[in-house]
Amino acid sequence: MQTETLIPDGAGLVRAAQLLREGRLVAFPTETVYGLGADAANDAAVARIFEAKGRPRFNPLIVHVPDLKTARTIAEFPPEAERLADAFWPGALTLVLPLRAGAAVSPLVTAELPTVALRLPDHPVARALLTEFGGAVAAPSANQSGQVSPTRAEHVLAGLEGLIAAVLDGGACPVGVESTIVGFQPEPVLLRPGGLPAEALEACLGGPLEAPPANERPSAPGQLTSHYAPGAAVRLNATENPEGALWLGFGPDCAGAALNLSATGDLVEAAANLFHHLRALDARAAPGQAIAVAPVPDHGLGRAINDRLRRAAAPRPA
């Protein structure tokens, strides 16, 4: 299959929506990372996502919607979900909600759970595509399963060229880490730290978010401990230039770093650079050479960054 690279102008968006209607796969930019989209109501199209990504079937997908009206046809919104959607949609927030009976969503999307993950993204290209398509689009991150998420069209092509119909090239993703995922049990639970800082959610809800019980992280992302992993080994908390390894710095005290997530110590800039820098160092690493990452403060977007780095550093399956 020849993968088309589409410019996100009128003609490109019409073509992308047409491909989705035909049950084909189209990667598109969101403010967080690139998604690998399929018509959420089409079983065969959704199955192709798992095939292209080499993804374990039990891992459910996020459904992207053009508007709140479409979201309400798919899921029920408890009062706290209403509040969060009202405050943060469109944006880098995914809500895991009770699935509505008869919702036009393939059971492959939810892995037959009674819940569905919904997101109304805030990227002009994602919104234009969803509006042009006129329905719900299931989309995980557009990378091979277990690998680093893509924040540019060229990252998508590096993993999926020849396996998907098209990629809409919208340039670099501004946030750079995946959405924050909140579930309701029924109290709000942080299932994955992400591009919307937990502190902002807690301020809106007026109380702390619960962490999911350790024994009960079924479909929460990163239940696969090694995830978001580049090819090179990753080590954490490198406070000085490590001998033999490539140093990925953070902040002003990292002279000699191969790359720096943010020389000024800005967590927003660091999140936007994270996956691109991991890919760049991976390409530069000699065989057996590790990437050693400077410590990143664990607040705001730093929580999402550290979550992804811990997974990148986790022992890999043999």
Q: With CB under 6 A as the contact rule, which of the stretches 174-182, 234-242, 271-279, 306-314 interacts with ligand TXA?
A: 174-182
| Shortest Å distance, C-beta 169 to ligand TXA | 15
Q: By three-state DSSP, how is residue 69 classified? A: helix
Q: Which is nearer to ligand TXA, 271 or 313 (CB)?
A: 271
- 266-285 residues in contact with Mg ion (CB under 5 A) are none
Please state, in angstroms and rounded to a whole number, the distance separating the CA atoms of residues 240 and 255: 9
Around Cβ 237, how many Cβ atoms within 10 Å? Answer: 11
In the complex with Mg ion, the residue whose CB is nearer, 15 or 53, is 53
Q: What is the CA radius of gyration of the chain?
A: 19
285 binds, among Mg ion, ligand TXA, none (CB under 5 to 8 A by kind): none
For residue 192, give the nearest of 17, 58, 32 by alpha carbon.
32
Return the ∠ at Cα 123 (arms to 181 and 50), rounded to 5°.
55
CB of 149 to Mg ion, least distance (A): 5
Q: With respect to ligand TXA, which residue has the nearer C-beta, 35 or 251?
A: 35
Q: Which of 298, 307, 251, 243 is nearest to 275 (CA)?
A: 307
Among 3, 42, 106, 110, binds ligand TXA (CB under 6 A): 110
Q: What is the smallest separation between the CB atom of 221 and Mg ion, expressed in angstroms?
A: 7
Complex with ligand TXA: residue 136 or 292, whichever CB lies closer: 136
Q: Which stretch binds ligand TXA (CB under 6 A): 38-46, 109-117, 231-239, 241-249?
A: 109-117
106 to 124, 207, 234: CA distances (angstroms): 26, 35, 37
How many chain residues touch ligand TXA (CB under 6 A)? 27
DSSP state of 141: B
Q: Which is nearer to ligand TXA, 113 or 200 (CB)?
A: 113
Partner whose binding site includes residue 179, from Mg ion, ligand TXA, none (CB under 5 to 8 Å by kind)? ligand TXA
Q: Which of 48, 119, 303, 308 binds ligand TXA (CB under 6 A)?
A: 119
What amino acid occupies position 269? E
User: Can the peptide bond before residue 90 be classed as cis, meaning omega within 30 degrees of 0?
Assistant: yes
- Contacts with ligand TXA in 25-54 (CB under 6 A)? 30, 32-33, 35
Q: Which residues, numbered 126-145, are part of the site for Mg ion (CB under 5 A)?
A: 141
Q: Is 178 in the site for ligand TXA (CB under 6 A)?
A: yes
Binding part of the chain for ligand TXA, among 69-77, 107-115, 252-260, 306-314 by CB under 6 A, reads 107-115
295 to 196, 227, 241, 272, 274: CA distances (angstroms)? 20, 19, 12, 17, 13
Q: How many CB atoms lie within 10 A of CB 145?
A: 16
Residue 146 burial by Cβ neighbours in a 10 Å radius (0-12, 13-18, 19+): middle
d(CA 217, CA 222) in angstroms, rounded, equals: 9
Q: What is the nearest approach in angstroms of Mg ion to the Cβ of residue 251?
A: 27
Question: Tokens 């796969």 appear where?
Answer: 25
Phi-psi region of 145 (alpha: psi -120 to 50; beta: other; left: phi over 0): beta
User: 113 and 75 in contact (C-beta within 8 Å)?
Assistant: no
Site for ligand TXA in 136-165 (CB under 6 A): 139-141
Interface with ligand TXA in residues 185-244 (CB under 6 A): 191, 219-221
Nearest-CB residue for Mg ion = 141
Contact footprint for Mg ion (CB under 5 A): 141
List contacts with ligand TXA (CB under 6 A). 30, 32-33, 35, 59-62, 94, 96, 110, 113, 115-117, 119, 139-141, 178-179, 181, 183, 191, 219-221
